[in-house]
Amino acid sequence: MTDPQMIGHYRVVKLLGTGAMGKVHAAVDTFLEREVAIKSLRAELTQDPDFVGRFRAEATSLAKLNHPNITTLYSPVLEGNNLFMVMELVHGRPLDEILRERGKPLGVKESLAVITQAADGLAYAHQMGVIHRDIKPSNLMVADDGRIKIMDFGIARVRGSVRLTRAGTAVGTPLYMSPEQCRGGEGDERSDLYSLAVVLYEMLAGAPPFSGATEYDLTQAQIHADAPPLVPRISGVTPEVESAIMTALSKRPEHRFPNLRAFSDALGATALRVDAPAIIRNAGHLVQDSTAERDVPTPERLSTKLIALAKSRSATLVRRFKGLHPALQGVTVGVGVVAILGSLYFGLQPSVSSGERKPWENSFADKKSGSDDFRWRDADAGNRRAAPRNSTTFGVDENQASTVPTYDRRSREDAVEAQFARTESRAREGDQKARYELGMLYLQTPGHQKLDDAFKWLKMSAEQGLPDAQYELGRMYTNGLVDEVADDVKLRERIAADWWEKAARSGHAKAQYQLGRIYEGGVAGRKRDRREARDWYSKASAQGEPNARQALRRIR
């Protein structure tokens, strides 16, 4: 393209920049005498008639977007073999350029002023059914008047339209892509929310939360790694702001905020909406001088920092707990209750010197030694003798002289490790039940949860025909714990139903009940069939499954 040149009735003025999709030129609409920006697509993208047809259909929908924080798409232009997009021309600088020239983080207030405007624009687009799918600093223009303009809807998706990419093909920029996009999923409103949270994190911390030596390493970090905490290392970031960001960065979409407005509210950014352009305009380094300094924040008192740190870490624990499988949540709560009761029990025991004996101690005294050194241990030894020992008993041996409490953490961990080792040894020998047990250990043991290993061993056992493993494997698919299909709900449901049907036909009561529910609702690729549902409910009920009995009464 050379200057001067006409594209339709648009007169090209100058080249503004180049990108992955093509080039952007400044131009003038000779009919309306207004400035515009014209994006020309790469030649290879215009050679596919199917792509051109779908692009024009989606561009028509995108042209309907009319919001002060979105760069308006005026119209697509097809001239010969070339396809162009005519857009609003924004005078300002992209956010990535500002961050690069500044070389250090932005202030919290300035960052929230950027985010509240971007969130407003995205929330509007989502209401219109448009998902951006490539939110990043280079697509957020900071206009000279302080407004934020969302740019480049070139790979946006209109909800319900024909997809522009093949299934399994990642779309977006890896530094800012959501985990579901990294896996090749389409992404939805919550994917844009995730990307915007990455942008906010970068503004506050000076770098994105995830990195990698290669693109593969980076996408794996997006899928699996936790973002480093911001409190207390980033001055001015409150636990509430950090918690909102970390929630938005949750790996699973359902654990994030339901929409952009909820995210903005949780950040406290919504309150800045009216004043946001002025806040940005008054920050010289954002719109004028990139070397201007922001206000130096007032140093925080040590006590304030400690309180903020405690709130931050507590919120992190709560988020991690919510992210656990429901079964693991139950196990974790149970272990916590046992730990608390154990600490209370041992903490409330009377402190007795070695030279004293209280009346209640006689019943616990060791008959063989008569030594006071056994008082503490033998208070629990009587209970150990009353019950047979097995692989899950974590107490010290009853004949071993020791003052270590029964619920000693090291002993417990050693026993858990030993149980894993024994079970894995049997599993590697091909024992289908051991493979099932090992999978459940990896799924449910606090501190040892490894979903990939749980899936591997449960699948081995399920393929060998163990109904319990088939049922649990179905549950893993249903709850989105299998990475390869985590974002495809319908596929997950169909696979789970297949495994449950195998278990049900082998007589597994819970699987029979689940299969009844599937046929009753007509889901997971099965047609609704009340008779089939009744048959499965009846089989499960005959084995004592209480939920099946209730369902049977309802369906009759």
Backbone Cα Rg of the chain: 31
Contact 251, 224 (CB under 8 A): yes
The candidate with the shortest Cα–Cα distance to 357, out of 373, 369, 368, is: 373
Contact 89, 37 (CB under 8 A): yes
The candidate with the shortest Cα–Cα distance to 474, out of 489, 444, 495, 490, is: 495
Cβ burial, residue 410 (10 Å; 0-12/13-18/19+):
exposed
Contact 63, 44 (CB under 8 A): no
Contact 196, 115 (CB under 8 A): yes
β-strand 22-29 against 34-41: which pairing, if any? Answer: antiparallel
Question: Within 13 Å, how many C-alpha atoms sit on residue 171's CB side?
Answer: 22
Contact 7, 79 (CB under 8 A): yes
Is 134 annotated in the active site?
A: yes
Give the pair of three-digit tokens for residue 393.
Answer: 């008993």
Task: Say which DSSP state 132 is in.
Answer: -
Helix/strand/coil for 160 = coil
Which of these is catalytic: 29, 48, 134, 188? 134
What are the C-alpha distances in Å from 185 to residues 129, 163, 422? 17, 11, 39
Distance CA 104, CA 438 (A): 48
Give the pair of three-digit tokens for residue 300.
Answer: 């925080």
Distance CA 185, CA 521 (A): 26
End-to-end, the C-alpha distance of the chain in Å comes to 73
Residue type, 542: A
Contact 252, 480 (CB under 8 A): yes
List of residues 6+ apart from 106 with CB closer than 8 A: 99, 114, 203, 204, 283, 286, 294
Could you give phi then psi for residue 450, rounded to 5 degrees? -140, 100
The candidate with the shortest Cα–Cα distance to 161, out of 131, 136, 190, is: 131
The candidate with the shortest Cα–Cα distance to 115, out of 244, 286, 276, is: 276
Annotated catalytic residues are 134
